[in-house]
Protein backbone atom coordinates (compact mmCIF):
# COMPACT_ATOMS: atom_id res chain seq x y z
CA UNK A 1 0.00 0.00 0.00
CA UNK A 2 1.23 3.49 -0.81
CA UNK A 3 1.85 5.92 2.03
CA UNK A 4 0.95 9.60 1.92
CA UNK A 5 -2.12 9.05 -0.29
CA UNK A 6 -5.49 10.11 1.07
CA UNK A 7 -8.05 7.34 1.07
CA UNK A 8 -11.20 6.60 3.07
CA UNK A 9 -10.50 4.96 6.47
CA UNK A 10 -12.84 2.13 5.47
CA UNK A 11 -10.32 1.23 2.77
CA UNK A 12 -7.12 2.07 4.64
CA UNK A 13 -8.21 0.00 7.65
CA UNK A 14 -8.46 -3.21 5.66
CA UNK A 15 -5.59 -5.36 6.90
CA UNK A 16 -3.13 -7.38 4.85
CA UNK A 17 -3.21 -11.04 5.91
CA UNK A 18 -0.15 -13.18 5.20
CA UNK A 19 -0.11 -16.88 4.43
CA UNK A 20 3.11 -17.31 6.44
CA UNK A 21 5.52 -15.22 8.49
CA UNK A 22 8.46 -16.64 6.56
CA UNK A 23 7.44 -15.51 3.06
CA UNK A 24 9.64 -12.79 1.57
CA UNK A 25 7.04 -10.29 0.32
CA UNK A 26 9.74 -7.72 -0.51
CA UNK A 27 11.36 -9.90 -3.16
CA UNK A 28 11.82 -8.51 -6.68
CA UNK A 29 9.90 -11.60 -7.77
CA UNK A 30 6.77 -10.53 -5.86
CA UNK A 31 3.83 -8.74 -7.46
CA UNK A 32 0.35 -7.63 -6.46
CA UNK A 33 -2.96 -7.93 -8.29
CA UNK A 34 -6.34 -6.27 -7.81
CA UNK A 35 -9.73 -7.34 -9.16
CA UNK A 36 -12.47 -4.73 -8.89
CA UNK A 37 -15.95 -4.22 -10.34
CA UNK A 38 -16.15 -0.41 -10.44
CA UNK A 39 -19.90 -0.15 -11.28
CA UNK A 40 -20.56 1.25 -14.76
CA UNK A 41 -23.01 4.10 -15.24
CA UNK A 42 -25.31 1.88 -17.30
CA UNK A 43 -26.03 -0.15 -14.15
CA UNK A 44 -26.63 2.75 -11.74
CA UNK A 45 -30.41 2.71 -11.95
CA UNK A 46 -32.02 4.94 -9.28
CA UNK A 47 -34.46 2.11 -8.51
CA UNK A 48 -31.52 -0.10 -7.53
CA UNK A 49 -30.03 2.57 -5.28
CA UNK A 50 -33.04 4.59 -4.03
CA UNK A 51 -31.01 5.75 -1.03
CA UNK A 52 -28.65 7.76 -3.29
CA UNK A 53 -29.13 10.99 -5.22
CA UNK A 54 -28.87 10.08 -8.95
CA UNK A 55 -26.10 12.67 -9.38
CA UNK A 56 -24.00 10.81 -6.80
CA UNK A 57 -24.25 7.61 -8.83
CA UNK A 58 -22.56 8.98 -11.95
CA UNK A 59 -19.00 7.83 -12.54
CA UNK A 60 -17.80 11.45 -12.59
CA UNK A 61 -18.89 11.74 -8.96
CA UNK A 62 -17.30 8.42 -7.99
CA UNK A 63 -14.07 8.69 -10.00
CA UNK A 64 -12.11 10.57 -7.33
CA UNK A 65 -12.78 7.85 -4.77
CA UNK A 66 -12.02 5.06 -7.23
CA UNK A 67 -8.72 6.62 -8.26
CA UNK A 68 -7.73 7.13 -4.62
CA UNK A 69 -8.26 3.42 -4.00
CA UNK A 70 -6.26 2.43 -7.07
CA UNK A 71 -3.40 4.76 -6.15
CA UNK A 72 -3.39 3.69 -2.50
CA UNK A 73 -3.38 -0.03 -3.36
CA UNK A 74 -0.51 0.55 -5.79
CA UNK A 75 -1.01 -2.88 -7.35
CA UNK A 76 1.19 -4.09 -10.18
CA UNK A 77 -1.76 -5.54 -12.12
CA UNK A 78 -5.30 -4.15 -11.92
CA UNK A 79 -8.24 -6.03 -13.44
CA UNK A 80 -11.41 -3.95 -13.60
CA UNK A 81 -14.94 -4.93 -14.59
CA UNK A 82 -17.89 -2.72 -15.59
CA UNK A 83 -15.71 -0.03 -17.14
CA UNK A 84 -17.55 2.29 -19.52
CA UNK A 85 -15.69 2.79 -22.84
CA UNK A 86 -15.99 6.57 -22.61
CA UNK A 87 -14.81 6.58 -19.02
CA UNK A 88 -11.86 4.37 -19.97
CA UNK A 89 -10.76 6.43 -22.96
CA UNK A 90 -11.34 9.95 -21.66
CA UNK A 91 -10.61 9.62 -17.94
CA UNK A 92 -9.28 6.36 -16.58
CA UNK A 93 -6.61 5.44 -19.13
CA UNK A 94 -4.98 8.92 -19.10
CA UNK A 95 -4.96 8.95 -15.28
CA UNK A 96 -3.47 5.47 -15.08
CA UNK A 97 -0.75 6.33 -17.59
CA UNK A 98 0.32 9.17 -15.29
CA UNK A 99 0.72 6.54 -12.56
CA UNK A 100 2.95 4.34 -14.72
CA UNK A 101 0.38 1.90 -16.12
CA UNK A 102 -0.56 0.75 -19.59
CA UNK A 103 -3.96 -0.79 -20.20
CA UNK A 104 -6.08 -3.00 -22.42
CA UNK A 105 -9.86 -2.56 -22.71
CA UNK A 106 -12.50 -4.79 -24.27
CA UNK A 107 -16.21 -3.99 -24.44
CA UNK A 108 -18.99 -6.51 -24.10
CA UNK A 109 -20.42 -7.36 -27.50
CA UNK A 110 -23.86 -6.52 -29.02
CA UNK A 111 -25.16 -5.36 -25.67
CA UNK A 112 -27.28 -2.44 -24.54
CA UNK A 113 -25.06 -2.14 -21.48
CA UNK A 114 -22.13 0.08 -22.43
CA UNK A 115 -19.27 -1.44 -20.43
CA UNK A 116 -16.47 -3.98 -20.45
CA UNK A 117 -13.27 -5.21 -18.81
CA UNK A 118 -9.97 -3.33 -18.48
CA UNK A 119 -6.61 -4.72 -17.40
CA UNK A 120 -3.79 -2.37 -16.37
CA UNK A 121 -0.19 -3.29 -15.62
CA UNK A 122 2.80 -1.33 -14.32
CA UNK A 123 5.35 -0.94 -17.09
CA UNK A 124 8.21 -1.08 -14.58
CA UNK A 125 7.08 -4.58 -13.52
CA UNK A 126 5.56 -6.16 -16.62
CA UNK A 127 5.77 -6.16 -20.39
CA UNK A 128 2.66 -7.04 -22.40
CA UNK A 129 3.57 -9.78 -24.86
CA UNK A 130 0.12 -10.64 -26.17
CA UNK A 131 -3.58 -10.27 -25.47
CA UNK A 132 -6.73 -11.94 -26.73
CA UNK A 133 -10.46 -11.48 -26.25
CA UNK A 134 -12.72 -14.51 -25.94
CA UNK A 135 -16.48 -14.25 -26.50
CA UNK A 136 -18.11 -16.53 -23.94
CA UNK A 137 -21.23 -16.98 -26.07
CA UNK A 138 -19.14 -18.30 -28.96
CA UNK A 139 -17.27 -20.69 -26.67
CA UNK A 140 -20.60 -21.92 -25.27
CA UNK A 141 -21.75 -22.67 -28.83
CA UNK A 142 -18.67 -24.85 -29.34
CA UNK A 143 -19.12 -26.59 -25.99
CA UNK A 144 -22.75 -27.42 -26.70
CA UNK A 145 -22.47 -28.08 -30.44
CA UNK A 146 -22.86 -31.85 -30.06
CA UNK A 147 -26.01 -31.71 -27.96
CA UNK A 148 -29.02 -33.36 -29.56
CA UNK A 149 -31.43 -30.76 -28.16
CA UNK A 150 -30.73 -27.55 -30.06
CA UNK A 151 -33.79 -25.47 -29.27
CA UNK A 152 -32.58 -24.04 -25.96
CA UNK A 153 -28.98 -23.31 -26.91
CA UNK A 154 -29.62 -19.57 -27.30
CA UNK A 155 -29.94 -19.43 -23.53
CA UNK A 156 -26.18 -20.07 -23.43
CA UNK A 157 -24.93 -18.74 -26.76
CA UNK A 158 -26.78 -15.44 -27.13
CA UNK A 159 -24.57 -13.76 -24.54
CA UNK A 160 -22.34 -10.69 -24.77
CA UNK A 161 -19.94 -11.51 -21.92
CA UNK A 162 -16.20 -11.61 -22.56
CA UNK A 163 -12.91 -12.82 -21.11
CA UNK A 164 -9.84 -10.61 -21.60
CA UNK A 165 -6.62 -12.64 -21.57
CA UNK A 166 -3.23 -10.94 -21.28
CA UNK A 167 0.21 -12.53 -21.45
CA UNK A 168 2.49 -10.50 -19.18
CA UNK A 169 6.23 -10.97 -18.86
CA UNK A 170 7.54 -10.21 -15.39
CA UNK A 171 10.60 -7.99 -15.80
CA UNK A 172 12.65 -9.21 -12.83
CA UNK A 173 12.03 -12.95 -13.10
CA UNK A 174 11.70 -13.15 -16.89
CA UNK A 175 8.68 -15.44 -16.34
CA UNK A 176 5.39 -15.03 -18.22
CA UNK A 177 1.98 -15.14 -16.57
CA UNK A 178 -1.40 -15.58 -18.25
CA UNK A 179 -4.01 -13.32 -16.64
CA UNK A 180 -7.72 -13.63 -17.47
CA UNK A 181 -10.10 -10.84 -16.47
CA UNK A 182 -13.81 -11.67 -16.83
CA UNK A 183 -17.33 -10.73 -15.77
CA UNK A 184 -19.93 -13.49 -15.96
CA UNK A 185 -23.59 -12.79 -16.61
CA UNK A 186 -25.98 -11.88 -13.80
CA UNK A 187 -29.58 -11.36 -14.99
CA UNK A 188 -30.94 -13.50 -12.14
CA UNK A 189 -29.97 -16.26 -9.74
CA UNK A 190 -31.98 -18.70 -11.85
CA UNK A 191 -29.53 -18.71 -14.76
CA UNK A 192 -26.79 -20.30 -12.67
CA UNK A 193 -26.40 -22.91 -15.42
CA UNK A 194 -25.44 -20.16 -17.89
CA UNK A 195 -22.75 -18.97 -15.49
CA UNK A 196 -21.60 -22.57 -15.16
CA UNK A 197 -21.10 -22.83 -18.92
CA UNK A 198 -19.41 -19.42 -18.99
CA UNK A 199 -16.99 -20.51 -16.25
CA UNK A 200 -16.27 -23.62 -18.30
CA UNK A 201 -15.74 -21.31 -21.28
CA UNK A 202 -13.10 -19.34 -19.38
CA UNK A 203 -11.32 -22.56 -18.44
CA UNK A 204 -11.38 -23.87 -22.01
CA UNK A 205 -10.14 -20.50 -23.30
CA UNK A 206 -7.23 -20.54 -20.87
CA UNK A 207 -6.31 -24.10 -21.77
CA UNK A 208 -6.38 -23.21 -25.46
CA UNK A 209 -4.32 -20.09 -24.85
CA UNK A 210 -1.74 -21.92 -22.76
CA UNK A 211 -1.29 -24.50 -25.52
CA UNK A 212 -0.18 -21.71 -27.85
CA UNK A 213 2.13 -20.28 -25.14
CA UNK A 214 3.64 -23.42 -23.56
CA UNK A 215 6.34 -21.48 -21.73
CA UNK A 216 3.73 -19.91 -19.45
CA UNK A 217 3.37 -22.10 -16.37
CA UNK A 218 1.18 -19.79 -14.24
CA UNK A 219 -2.36 -18.51 -14.76
CA UNK A 220 -4.61 -16.13 -12.85
CA UNK A 221 -8.37 -16.07 -13.44
CA UNK A 222 -10.14 -13.19 -11.71
CA UNK A 223 -13.19 -10.98 -11.89
CA UNK A 224 -16.86 -10.74 -11.01
CA UNK A 225 -18.28 -14.24 -11.42
CA UNK A 226 -21.76 -13.35 -10.12
CA UNK A 227 -21.49 -16.68 -8.35
CA UNK A 228 -21.56 -17.51 -4.65
CA UNK A 229 -19.13 -20.09 -3.21
CA UNK A 230 -22.00 -22.57 -2.84
CA UNK A 231 -22.88 -22.51 -6.55
CA UNK A 232 -21.94 -24.78 -9.43
CA UNK A 233 -19.70 -22.36 -11.35
CA UNK A 234 -17.49 -21.89 -8.28
CA UNK A 235 -17.27 -25.66 -7.80
CA UNK A 236 -16.27 -26.09 -11.41
CA UNK A 237 -13.35 -23.67 -11.08
CA UNK A 238 -11.93 -25.00 -7.80
CA UNK A 239 -12.90 -28.69 -8.03
CA UNK A 240 -13.12 -29.37 -11.76
CA UNK A 241 -16.58 -30.81 -11.16
CA UNK A 242 -19.82 -30.09 -9.32
CA UNK A 243 -19.71 -31.45 -5.78
CA UNK A 244 -22.56 -33.56 -4.44
CA UNK A 245 -23.34 -30.92 -1.80
CA UNK A 246 -23.72 -28.30 -4.51
CA UNK A 247 -25.89 -30.57 -6.63
CA UNK A 248 -28.19 -31.12 -3.67
CA UNK A 249 -28.44 -27.37 -3.11
CA UNK A 250 -29.32 -26.88 -6.79
CA UNK A 251 -32.02 -29.54 -6.61
CA UNK A 252 -33.63 -27.98 -3.57
CA UNK A 253 -33.39 -24.32 -4.55
CA UNK A 254 -34.01 -24.48 -8.29
CA UNK A 255 -35.80 -27.81 -8.83
CA UNK A 256 -33.19 -28.70 -11.45
CA UNK A 257 -32.72 -32.10 -13.02
CA UNK A 258 -29.01 -32.52 -12.58
CA UNK A 259 -28.98 -35.09 -15.37
CA UNK A 260 -29.24 -32.17 -17.80
CA UNK A 261 -26.16 -30.52 -16.33
CA UNK A 262 -24.24 -33.80 -16.23
CA UNK A 263 -24.61 -33.97 -20.01
CA UNK A 264 -23.03 -30.53 -20.30
CA UNK A 265 -20.21 -31.42 -17.94
CA UNK A 266 -19.07 -34.35 -20.06
CA UNK A 267 -17.20 -31.78 -22.14
CA UNK A 268 -15.02 -31.09 -19.09
CA UNK A 269 -13.52 -34.56 -18.87
CA UNK A 270 -10.41 -33.67 -20.85
CA UNK A 271 -9.82 -30.19 -19.43
CA UNK A 272 -7.93 -30.99 -16.21
CA UNK A 273 -7.71 -27.34 -15.17
CA UNK A 274 -8.47 -26.82 -11.50
CA UNK A 275 -7.73 -23.49 -9.85
CA UNK A 276 -6.97 -22.45 -6.29
CA UNK A 277 -8.56 -19.45 -4.61
CA UNK A 278 -6.06 -16.87 -3.34
CA UNK A 279 -8.36 -15.74 -0.52
CA UNK A 280 -9.28 -19.24 0.57
CA UNK A 281 -5.63 -20.33 0.57
CA UNK A 282 -4.67 -17.45 2.87
CA UNK A 283 -7.75 -16.97 5.05
CA UNK A 284 -9.32 -20.42 4.92
CA UNK A 285 -12.53 -19.05 3.43
CA UNK A 286 -13.80 -16.71 0.77
CA UNK A 287 -14.78 -13.17 1.82
CA UNK A 288 -18.27 -13.01 3.28
CA UNK A 289 -19.11 -9.90 1.26
CA UNK A 290 -17.71 -8.50 -1.96
CA UNK A 291 -20.95 -6.93 -3.22
CA UNK A 292 -23.56 -4.96 -1.30
CA UNK A 293 -26.39 -2.87 -2.71
CA UNK A 294 -29.39 -2.45 -0.45
CA UNK A 295 -30.47 -5.91 0.70
CA UNK A 296 -28.21 -7.86 -1.68
CA UNK A 297 -25.13 -8.82 0.31
CA UNK A 298 -22.96 -11.65 -1.07
CA UNK A 299 -19.53 -12.82 -2.24
CA UNK A 300 -19.36 -12.77 -6.05
CA UNK A 301 -15.76 -11.79 -6.83
CA UNK A 302 -12.66 -13.99 -6.80
CA UNK A 303 -8.97 -14.24 -7.58
CA UNK A 304 -8.17 -17.79 -8.72
CA UNK A 305 -4.75 -19.03 -9.76
CA UNK A 306 -3.15 -22.16 -11.18
CA UNK A 307 0.49 -23.08 -11.51
CA UNK A 308 2.55 -26.00 -12.74
CA UNK A 309 4.75 -27.04 -9.84
CA UNK A 310 5.38 -24.25 -7.35
CA UNK A 311 6.33 -21.42 -9.71
CA UNK A 312 3.55 -19.14 -8.38
CA UNK A 313 2.67 -18.80 -4.70
CA UNK A 314 0.08 -16.56 -3.07
CA UNK A 315 1.66 -14.71 -0.13
CA UNK A 316 -1.08 -12.40 1.17
CA UNK A 317 -4.53 -10.91 0.63
CA UNK A 318 -6.26 -7.78 1.89
CA UNK A 319 -9.12 -8.72 4.20
CA UNK A 320 -12.70 -7.50 4.02
CA UNK A 321 -15.08 -5.38 6.03
CA UNK A 322 -18.08 -6.61 7.96
CA UNK A 323 -21.62 -6.10 6.73
CA UNK A 324 -22.20 -3.73 9.63
CA UNK A 325 -19.27 -1.52 8.57
CA UNK A 326 -20.52 -1.39 4.98
CA UNK A 327 -24.12 -0.63 5.92
CA UNK A 328 -23.04 2.52 7.76
CA UNK A 329 -22.46 4.03 4.31
CA UNK A 330 -24.40 1.92 1.85
CA UNK A 331 -22.52 1.58 -1.45
CA UNK A 332 -22.12 3.33 -3.75
CA UNK A 333 -21.22 6.35 -1.64
CA UNK A 334 -18.42 8.76 -0.85
CA UNK A 335 -16.98 6.04 1.36
CA UNK A 336 -17.55 3.18 -1.11
CA UNK A 337 -17.29 4.40 -4.73
CA UNK A 338 -18.62 1.08 -6.08
CA UNK A 339 -21.15 -1.47 -4.87
CA UNK A 340 -18.33 -4.03 -4.98
CA UNK A 341 -15.18 -4.11 -2.88
CA UNK A 342 -11.78 -4.55 -4.53
CA UNK A 343 -9.91 -7.81 -3.99
CA UNK A 344 -6.13 -7.58 -3.58
CA UNK A 345 -3.67 -10.48 -3.52
CA UNK A 346 0.11 -10.69 -3.60
CA UNK A 347 2.03 -13.45 -5.33
CA UNK A 348 5.61 -14.65 -5.44
CA UNK A 349 7.13 -15.97 -8.65
CA UNK A 350 9.46 -18.81 -7.71
CA UNK A 351 12.32 -20.23 -9.75
Listed by start position, the domains of the chain span 9-349
Q: What class has domain 9-349? A: alpha beta
Q: What is the mean pLDDT of residues 110-115?
A: 82
Distance CA 271, CA 278 (A): 21
pLDDT of residue 328: 87
Using the predicted structure, report yes or no on whether residue 268 has a pLDDT greater than 70.
Answer: no
| 53-62, 74-83, 89-98: least confidently modelled range | 53-62
Burial code (b: 16+ CB inside 10 Å, e: under 16) for 52-80 equals beeeebebebbbebbbbbbbbbbbbbbbb
- The verdict on pTM exceeding 0.85 is yes
Using the predicted structure, report yes or no on whether residue 64 has a pLDDT greater than 90.
Answer: yes
* Cα 323 to Cα 159, 181, 296, 310, distances in angstroms: 32, 26, 11, 35
SS3 assignment, position 120: strand
DSSP 340: B
For 307-343, write each residue's pLDDT tens digit. Answer: 988 889 999 999 999 888 888 888 998 899 999 999 9
Distance CA 292, CA 123 (A): 33
Percent of the chain with pLDDT over 70: 89
Amino acid sequence: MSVGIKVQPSFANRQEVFVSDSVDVTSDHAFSLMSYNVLADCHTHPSTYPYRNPDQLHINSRHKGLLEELRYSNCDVICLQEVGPGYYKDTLEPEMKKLGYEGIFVKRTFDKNDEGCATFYKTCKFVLQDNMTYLLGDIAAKILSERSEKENLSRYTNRCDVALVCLLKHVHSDRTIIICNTHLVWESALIWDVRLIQALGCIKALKEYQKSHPGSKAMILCGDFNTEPTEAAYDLVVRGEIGEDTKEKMRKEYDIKMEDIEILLKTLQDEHLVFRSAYKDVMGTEPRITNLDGEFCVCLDYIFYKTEGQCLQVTSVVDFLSEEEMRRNLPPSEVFPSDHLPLVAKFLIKK
